[in-house]
Chains A and B, each alone.
Chain A
Amino acid sequence: MAKRIDIGGLTAYYGSHKAIEDISMTVEPRSVTAFIGPSGCGKSTFLRTLNRMHEVTPGGRVEGKVLLDDENLYGPGVDPVTVRRTVGMVFQRPNPFPTMSIFDNVAAGLRLNGSYRKNQLAEIVEKSLRGANLWNEVKDRLNKPGSGLSGGQQQRLCIARAIAVEPQVLLMDEPCSALDPISTLAIEDLIGELKERFTIVIVTHNMQQAARVSDRTAFFNLSAVGKPGRLIEIDETERIFSNPSVQATEDYISGRFG
């Protein structure tokens, strides 16, 4: 179910402001790729171009191409709604649908995609919640609202919701930044399991996290405030954190700036 992503010459704008410029990279299937870099370097913006969420922001537009196994997400006639059904996303703050029960939250994406029989739906919901390591905690209260869970549980609920529709790719935008260390650990363990099935891209401010969970790491930077963010380098995580090929990466990682 996992696909490779090839990004070529991607530039994204907010109105007339260029947020990121000319980014090209390849994201390997069944692996975790981490995006790191200082605030404002456009790593979140870049992540949001990968499932066409960037253009939801007023004034947001994108140039370049994103190939998902040779299919251009920005090709003519490609419906962004279809793209988002293949490329799932988990956000910075847990955002379960507050009015829905835990069960309905997980089933929400399935119900959008088509009709399922009741027992079929229950099966997928259970599988997704197990996949998100949440099943044992919520199996007795599937009909309670998702907003009653703790922050970490809510985030795992959001992951369950995202993987329920079996996406090709899972994008995670700082998924642990609103969570305590224990919940963060639970999510990180989960990411390690999920990469067996999905292509995962994660934006993180926490460099230890990038080092812990990712196979490859991309470092983004911007030359000055107001200038567009650029990809500085992407390499094996081990290499980025031990012996990066660009000086700026080493400076950032060793805490000399950012």
Chain B
Amino acid sequence: MASTTPVDIPPAPPAPRQRPKSAGRAGDKVFLGLSRGSGILLLVIMASIAVFLSYRAALALADNEGNFFTTFDWNPAGDPPVFGIAVLLFGTVISSIIAMAIAVPIAVGIALFISHYAPRRLASPLAYVVDLLAAVPSIIYGIWGALVLVPYLEGLNLWLDQFFGWTYLFEKTEVGVARSLFTVGILLAIMILPIVTSVSREVFLQVPKMNEEAALALGATRWEVIRLSVLPFGRSGVISASMLGLGRALGETMAVATVLSPSFLISFHVLNPGGGTFAQNIAAKFDEADQFGRDALIASGLVLFVLTLLVNGAARLIIARRKEYSGANA
């Protein structure tokens, strides 16, 4: 540090010293420009998407004769044009909730097994297999869901109907194959399992050894170590992992479009075929829609965009509120 003042520089070596210095500054400037540019570019992209969606959506909404939020219909080509997102919002949220309810406990279990229970020889191949699940294209999941999951789930649906039909949720009032929101939820659960698992696993592996030893030294069993030190430390990580998964579940298109038999009905009988999601509806209708129809679909896309933003915002809020306890300052 002291040698940067000119007084300290001996007469002989100034030339070689100055060159790396100025090159370093130029490098700094280039790097600063690049990183600042990337940051700005990101904001510009986000803003332009939002502007594009809002503008096209506004065009469609101006001529919509139905209430955009409460109409159970999607008929922008009709006269008068009527379309609403009630069914789509319901289907998207319900199928994502089902997916989360199934995927998050399993993912946390797998992550804990890999990080704290499995012998090392088993842990890394297992982690690799879970990551492989993420590499399967979603259309493959869709085909597998339609050809394998749907027929196989019929038995499960009957069983659920028989023993849990009293919950209303699992009452199957309509005959038909299992092209239901419940099936979509299961499929989505499989699809978000790898991301939730691998993020949770990373967090669990980062638990400081001294935290785990604190529990061990008190005479904690393996499960108690996990309960006392691993889960509290990993909590915010698991929340953000789940939100990442939720983001994917909300926006998933091809797999849902392949499995679901869409209808414009809202029903809490999740085993009944029918329902719809934002992404599935856009994928199914975009090709045959005219200009106005596409604007209407974009309006629904805007709602999905806002929904995803809200979910991410909520996740950040939860994490921030836990910061005092997060262990980062320990």
Q: Are A97 and B229 within 8 A (Cβ)?
A: yes
B216 within 8 A of A: yes
A56 neighbours in B (Cβ, 8 Å): 213, 216
Binary per-residue interface labels of chain A (71-91) against chain B in the complex, 1 for a CB within 8 Å, 0 otherwise? 000000000011111001101
CA of A112 to CA of B324, assembled, Å: 25
Q: Are B228 and A108 within 8 A (Cβ)?
A: yes
A109 neighbours in B (Cβ, 8 Å): 218-219
Q: Are A158 and B220 within 8 A (Cβ)?
A: no
Q: Are B214 and A93 within 8 A (Cβ)?
A: no
B218 in complex: contacting residue of A85, A99, A145, CB < 8 Å: A85
Residue of A at shortest CB range from B208?
Answer: A95
Q: Are A99 and B217 within 8 A (Cβ)?
A: no
Q: Are B214 and A112 within 8 A (Cβ)?
A: no
Q: Are B218 and A95 within 8 A (Cβ)?
A: no
Residue of B at shortest CB range from A89?
Answer: B217
Q: Are B233 and A81 within 8 A (Cβ)?
A: no
Number of B residues, CB within 8 Å of A:
25
Residue of A at shortest CB range from B231?
Answer: A99
CA of A167 to CA of B178, assembled, Å: 59
Question: How near does chain B come to A15, taking the closest CB pair, in angstroms?
Answer: 13
Binary per-residue interface labels of chain A (168-196) against chain B in the complex, 1 for a CB within 8 Å, 0 otherwise? 00000000000000000000000000000
CA of A112 to CA of B226, assembled, Å: 13
CA of A147 to CA of B324, assembled, Å: 9
Q: In chain B, residues 222-277, which have Cβ atoms closer than 8 Å to a Cβ of chain A?
A: 224, 228-229, 232-233, 235
B229 neighbours in A (Cβ, 8 Å): 97
Q: Are B219 and A95 within 8 A (Cβ)?
A: no
Question: How near does chain B come to A177, taking the closest CB pair, in angstroms?
Answer: 13
A43 within 8 A of B: no
Q: Are A93 and B210 within 8 A (Cβ)?
A: yes
Tell me the interface secondary structure of chain B in the complex. Answer: helix
B5 neighbours in A (Cβ, 8 Å): none
Number of A residues, CB within 8 Å of B:
30
Residue of B at shortest CB range from A92?
Answer: B210
B210 neighbours in A (Cβ, 8 Å): 91, 93, 95
B216 in complex: contacting residue of A82, A84, A158, CB < 8 Å: A84
Known: A95-B210, A99-B235, A147-B327. Contact between A53 and B217, CB under 8 A?
yes
Question: How near does chain B come to A90, taking the closest CB pair, in angstroms?
Answer: 8
CA of A113 to CA of B228, assembled, Å: 13
Q: Which of A51, A81, A158, A162 has the largest number of chain B CB atoms within 10 A?
A: A81
CA of A99 to CA of B132, assembled, Å: 34
Known: A53-B213, A91-B214. Contact between A96 and B330, CB under 8 A?
yes
Q: Which of B211, B215, B218 has the largest number of chain A CB atoms within 10 A?
A: B218
Residue of A at shortest CB range from B216?
Answer: A56
B38 within 8 A of A: no
A113 neighbours in B (Cβ, 8 Å): 219
Question: How near does chain A come to B195, taking the closest CB pair, in angstroms?
Answer: 24
Question: How near does chain A come to B159, taking the closest CB pair, in angstroms?
Answer: 38
B221 neighbours in A (Cβ, 8 Å): 81
B232 in complex: contacting residue of A84, A85, A99, CB < 8 Å: A99
Q: In chain B, residues 182-208, which have Cβ atoms closer than 8 Å to a Cβ of chain A?
A: 208
Q: Which of B214, B215, B224 has the largest number of chain A CB atoms within 10 A?
A: B214
Q: In chain A, residues 125-176, which have Cβ atoms closer than 8 Å to a Cβ of chain B?
A: 145, 147-148, 158, 161-162, 165
Q: Are A162 and B217 within 8 A (Cβ)?
A: yes
B55 neighbours in A (Cβ, 8 Å): none
Known: A99-B232, A108-B228. Contact between A158 and B327, CB under 8 A?
no
Residue of A at shortest CB range from B120?
Answer: A58
CA of A83 to CA of B221, assembled, Å: 12
B167 within 8 A of A: no
> Which residues of B does A touch, CB under 8 Å?
120, 208, 210-211, 213-221, 224, 228-229, 232-233, 235, 324-327, 329-330
Closest 5 CB pairs of A and B: A85-B219, A98-B327, A99-B232, A89-B217, A109-B218
A-B contact sample (18 more), CB < 8 A, given A91-B217, A108-B228, A161-B218: A51-B217, A81-B219, A84-B217, A85-B218, A85-B219, A91-B210, A91-B214, A95-B213, A95-B214, A98-B327, A98-B329, A99-B233, A108-B215, A112-B228, A145-B325, A148-B329, A162-B217, A165-B219
